[in-house]
Amino acid sequence: MLEQVVNTRDYSTVELILFGVGCYMWVVVYILYIKEIRRGQCIGMPVFAACSNFAWEIVWGVIPPSTDMGPLLVWAYRAWFFLDLYIIAGVYRYGTAQISTPGVAKYFKPLLVATVAGMTVLYYFFKSGGYDTPIGATSAYIAQMFISVLYLVLLLRHQKLVWQSLPISWLRMIGTGLNTVFLFLHYPQLHFLLSLGVMSLIIDNVYIYLFITGRNASAAQSASAG
């Protein structure tokens, strides 16, 4: 029965648990993103990181082949894609607020579409050219670096546009962290991929630290003013 939903031939139980839990944590993150878009009518994800992320999901969630880890993980990838349809629509609608350059803001929507299309082409040829792992890990962590770095930049430049949702930050970090532990177990020889995982994890922790300290400083300032 278990063999029908996950690939126990090529992956150990520990590896499947680590990767599966990490992937479905990101499903929860996406659901929280959607709730925040509906509530705040704004985008807390860096817009061009969102483009890269959505492009990856088109290539690995829609265009076959998908991950070889079994149907349970294939549907995690597809869940990301379907949930991200709403998120990318929110980016298209509200993302201009993150753009401070008038010339870029003027053409934001066509630039957004062009970025998704261009990144989709790049990830597709990366996959079809045989440069990726069977689960899309290398390109996924390239996309993850976009997310981690640009989240940090967004926090430092546009703090009012970053959702004050600590659960999203923790779930992002823990989900990616579990997947990174999986990489060390299953791909110990892929040093470039492992470096991406470690660097993303470090940046995510820096982000959480700055997020918490900034929120505490703001609360202290509000308390003293009151």
Structure tokens at 157: 């430049």
Phi/psi-derived region of residue 29, left when phi > 0, alpha when psi is between -120 and 50, beta in every other case = alpha
Q: What is the pLDDT of residue 128?
A: 97
174 lies in some domain: yes
Q: Name the nearest CA neighbour of 142 among 112, 162, 119.
A: 119
CA dihedral 58, 60, 65, 70 (to 10 degrees): -130
108: in domain: yes
Measured CA to CA, the distance from residue 179 to residue 20 in angstroms comes to: 8
Residue 26 has a pLDDT of: 95
Phi/psi for 137 (5° steps) reads -65, -40
DSSP element (H, E) containing 137 = helix 137-157
Query: What was the pLDDT predicted at 46?
Result: 85
134, 190 contact by CB (below 8 A): no
Residue 1: inside a domain, yes or no?
Answer: no
How far is Cα 158 from Cα 131, in angstroms, rounded to an integer? 36
Task: Find the domain containing 170 and state its range.
Answer: 8-225
Of 92, 34, 37, 26, nearest to 60 (Cα)?
26
Q: What is the pLDDT tens value at each position of the chain, 226 positions in all?
A: 678 899 999 999 999 999 999 999 999 999 998 998 888 787 878 888 899 999 999 999 999 999 999 999 999 999 999 999 999 999 999 989 888 888 888 999 999 999 999 999 999 999 999 999 999 999 999 999 888 898 888 888 766 555 557 888 899 899 999 999 999 999 999 999 999 999 999 999 998 898 888 777 777 776 776 6
Q: What pLDDT sits at residue 34? A: 92
- Chain centroid to Cα 182, Å, comes to 17
Tell me the whole-structure pTM to 2 decimals.
0.91
d(CA 7, CA 73): 9
Domain count, the chain: 1
DSSP 131: -
Q: Is residue 2 part of a domain?
A: no
Give the number of C-alpha atoms closer than 13 A to the C-alpha of residue 130, restricted to the C-beta side.
0
214's tokens:
């900034």
Q: At what angle do helices 71-94 and 47-57 cross, to 10 degrees?
A: 150
Residue 51: its pLDDT value, please? 94
Rounded Cα distance between 65 and 58, Å, is 11
With CA atoms as reference, report the closest residue to 83 among 112, 55, 54: 54
Residue 175 lies in a domain: yes
Does residue 13 form part of some domain? yes
Q: Quote the pLDDT of residue 3.
A: 80
Q: Is residue 34 part of a domain?
A: yes
> Is 187 a member of any domain?
yes
